[in-house]
């Protein structure tokens, strides 16, 4: 019986220790440099600051310029989520086209802005962090969405 308790205790300690190690390896919107590092794995990217002092990443994937804006920030720090954004001057895109995209596609919300430009967004909650691999997969999905939107809608 003592041996079983010892093994259970050792297992619990190991699980808690590994959990702490994993928590240190998470990427969140509170660390824009870590998000930038992932972004650079998918093309050029640079960290900027937006008009209200929050971080923003300007990147390029497949020839398309995009932004990653940070939301839920407290004075430009401790941000909670990110929003991928790309826009195109595209007067030929119709509301029917956009509605079809939004109905048929799982990722990437499209709309026509006040100036008649096509906009594509992809909101991502990073509050409490995700693994680097998860964020890499998110950037990969953003690339898929960008390519499909450009090929099917523009």
Domains, the chain, in order of start with CATH, read: 27-153 (3.30.1460.10)
**Cα 92 to Cα 26, 38, 97, distances in angstroms:** 42, 34, 10
Percent with pLDDT over 70 in the chain: 85
Report the pLDDT averaged over residues 91-100: 92
**Confidence class of residue 37 from pLDDT cuts 50, 70 and 90?**
very high
Dist CA 97 CA 153 (whole Å)? 7
Report the pLDDT averaged over residues 6-30: 62
- Would you state the pLDDT for residue 90? 75
In the chain the first and final C-alpha atoms are separated, in Å, by: 69
pLDDT tens for 43-75 read 999 999 999 999 999 999 999 999 999 999 999
- Would you state the pLDDT for residue 1? 57
Average model confidence (pLDDT) for the chain?
90
């Amino acid at each position: 019986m003592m041996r079983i308790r010892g093994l259970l205790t050792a297992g619990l300690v190991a699980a808690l220790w590994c959990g702490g190690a994993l928590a240190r390896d998470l990427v969140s919107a509170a660390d824009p440099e870590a998000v930038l590092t992932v972004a650079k794995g998918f093309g050029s990217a640079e960290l900027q600051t937006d008009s209200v002092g929050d971080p923003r990443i300007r990147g390029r994937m497949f020839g398309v310029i995009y932004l990653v804006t940070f939301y839920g920030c407290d004075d430009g720090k401790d941000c909670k989520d990110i929003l991928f954004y790309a826009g195109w001057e595209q007067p030929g895109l119709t509301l029917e086209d956009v509605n079809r995209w939004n109905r048929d596609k799982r990722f990437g919300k499209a709309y026509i802005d006040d100036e008649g430009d096509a906009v594509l967004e992809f909101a991502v909650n990073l509050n409490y962090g995700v693994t680097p691999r998860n964020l890499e997969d998110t950037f990969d999905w953003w690339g898929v969405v960008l390519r499909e939107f450009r090929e099917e809608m523009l």
